Amino acid sequence: MSITQAFLIHLICGVGLAVGFWVAHNVYSINLVSHPSHTLRLILVVETPIVILLYSCFRQNPDNCSYLKAVVRAILGLPVGALINTFGAIALGAPVGIQYLPKTINWSLLMSLFTFVPAASVFGSSWADWHRIFAHTKPNRTVEYMICIPAHAAIIGAWFGAWPMPLDWEKPWQEWPICVSYGAMVGYLVGIVASLGLALLRGRQQHNKGD
């Protein structure tokens, strides 16, 4: 995959996020602070098909694996990744309770979309690749950079986004999962830029080596 393609994909994903926000703001006139659950669901509805359809184009072994199969395993990966993200969030102190359930579900679906779904559609059930990307953080190809860096960045962003939560500022956005979602999205966007930069750098290095 070329850098241009990567740039286009990332651009479309970023625009998808923006469109989700725009629809929430202007069509339904809600935002993340007033209706976190609804807004997250709207963003999900817009962003999920984009991510799944785009990343499925770059599946591994396209000869053995049809486009439809990649889409299906990405769709299967969505709830699984959400489950893992939920466990992580609860272990780190996310509130457990029936009134938080929809928020937690929507948030973890979004996190799954950022972290788990691209990997699921590209790698499928290839354990070695998963292990290399998520346990060792060692991406090699451009598409791996595009999966690995934004995913890690989204998690780190969400982690930092949780910091203001216990403070006594008494702002409405300190509620779970508003600031965490903001953190995750900011992290994701930063990760997109960083992954493009890193991929570019790597390409140049390899080019030099080739010379």
Partner 1 sequence: MSCTKWTLLTLAGVTLQLIGLSLFVFGFFPVKPALSGFSGPESYNAPACDDLVRNRNPNEISRPPDQLRSLYQELSGIPPLFDRLILMVVDGLPAEFVLGKDGKPPRNVFVEAMPYTQSLLASGKAIGYHAKAAPPTVTMPRLKAMVSGAIGGFLDVAFNFNTQAFLDDNLLGQLFNIGWKMVMLGDETWLKLFPGLFSRHDGVGSFFVKDTVEVDKNVSRHLGNELSRDDWNLLILHYLGLDHVGHVGGRNSVLMAPKLAEMDEIVKMIHTSTILTQENDQEHTLLMVVSDHGMTEHGNHGGSSFEETDSLALFIGLRKQVSDYASATQNTAHQVDIAPTLALLLGVPIPKNSVGVMISETFDLLKDDHQLRALELNSWQLLRLLQAQLSELTCGNIPCNGVGDTQRSGTSDCNGSIEKMLCCLYMNAAVLHSSWKSKKVSESNSWEDYSNAIAAYDKFLKTASEWLSSRATDKPVGLLAFGVAAMLLSCLILSSLVLYMCREVYLVEKLRLSHPNDMHRWLLDETFVIGVILILVISMTSSSMVEEEHYIWHFITSTLFLLLLRKTAQLLPAGIILSEEQSRNCKFQICSISVLVICGRIMRGWHQGGVNWTNLPDISKWLEQAGSDHVKTIQLVSGCLVICFGLYSLSLFESKKIIIVVVGFSFSISGLLLLLRVLKFQDYKLASSSYGATLLAQIIYAVLATTTIGSFVTLPWLMPIRISNMDSNNDINSSSPVPSDVQYKSPWLELRDSLYVIGWVYILCWCVLQLLLQQPINSLPILLLLVEIMASMLYFFFEGQRCTGWVEVS
Interface with partner 1 (CB under 8 A): 88, 90-93, 96-97, 127-128, 131-132, 134-136, 159, 162, 165-170
Determine the Cα angle at 157 with ends 102 and 164, to 5°: 75
From the CB of 72, what's the least distance to partner 1, in Å? 25
Which residue has tokens 């934004």? Answer: 150
Using CA atoms in the order 146, 153, 112, 94, what is the torsion angle rounded to 10 degrees?
Answer: 180
Q: Note whether 36 and 50 are within 8 A (CB).
A: no
Distance CA 20, CA 45 (A): 8
From the CB of 138, what's the least distance to partner 1, in Å? 10
C-beta of 27 vs 91, nearer to partner 1: 91
From the CB of 82, what's the least distance to partner 1, in Å? 17
C-beta of 27 vs 167, nearer to partner 1: 167
From the CB of 163, what's the least distance to partner 1, in Å? 8
What's 40-93 look like in SS3?
HHHHHHHHHHHHHHHHHCCCCCCCCCCHHHHHHHHHHHHHHHHHHHHHHHHHCC
From the CB of 128, what's the least distance to partner 1, in Å? 5
Largest CA distance in the chain: 61
C-beta of 14 vs 88, nearer to partner 1: 88
Q: Note whether 113 and 44 are within 8 A (CB).
A: yes
C-beta of 45 vs 90, nearer to partner 1: 90
C-beta of 131 vs 204, nearer to partner 1: 131
What length does the chain have? 211
From the CB of 52, what's the least distance to partner 1, in Å? 26
C-beta of 28 vs 87, nearer to partner 1: 87
